[in-house]
Amino acid sequence: MENITLGQVAAAVAFLVALIVSYKKLKEWTTDAVKDAVKEELGQLSGEIKNLRDELEKEDKEKTKNFLVASLNEIENGEVWTEVKRQRFYEQYDHYVNDLHGNTYIKKAVEVHEKEGKIWR
């Protein structure tokens, strides 16, 4: 112990400080690199998910319209719906108008048939 100089202690402390700082910097650079890579991948994935959602909504809207048009065609052909069919029609109609924001010839046809008393809520 007698042979350790103040310069050696300072060099050892400087070495430890440099080691700690370099560890923190290396960790920071690695973390930033990983974050950037993940962010890029998630950005691409997010775009693909949005495209899938758009396609699903389009498909949902088309299938809902097909059901509504077929059901309205039944009424125009003089068929009388059961209570269950009537309730299901209005579930799909409300989904079409409220969720899918459909506001087309279907809405006009429903209004006409409601005024005529052929369908009701």
Q: Do residues 89 and 68 make contact, with C-beta atoms less than 8 angstroms apart? A: yes
Cα(110)–Cα(76) distance, integer angstroms = 11
Cβ atoms 84, 67 nearer than 8 A: no
Query: Residue 75: which pLDDT band, with cuts at 50, 70 and 90?
Result: very high
Q: What is the mean pLDDT of residues 19-30?
A: 93
pLDDT at 85: 97
Question: What is the per-residue pLDDT across 40-69, written as a single tens digit (0 to 9) for each?
Answer: 888 888 989 999 999 999 999 999 999 999
pLDDT band at 1 (very low <50, low <70, confident <90, very high): low
pLDDT for the residue 67: 98
> What share of the chain in percent tops pLDDT 90?
76
Region 89-106: mean pLDDT is: 96
Q: For the chain, how far is it from start to end, CA to CA, in angstroms?
A: 96
Average pLDDT, the chain: 93
The tokens describing 81, both together, are 């719906």
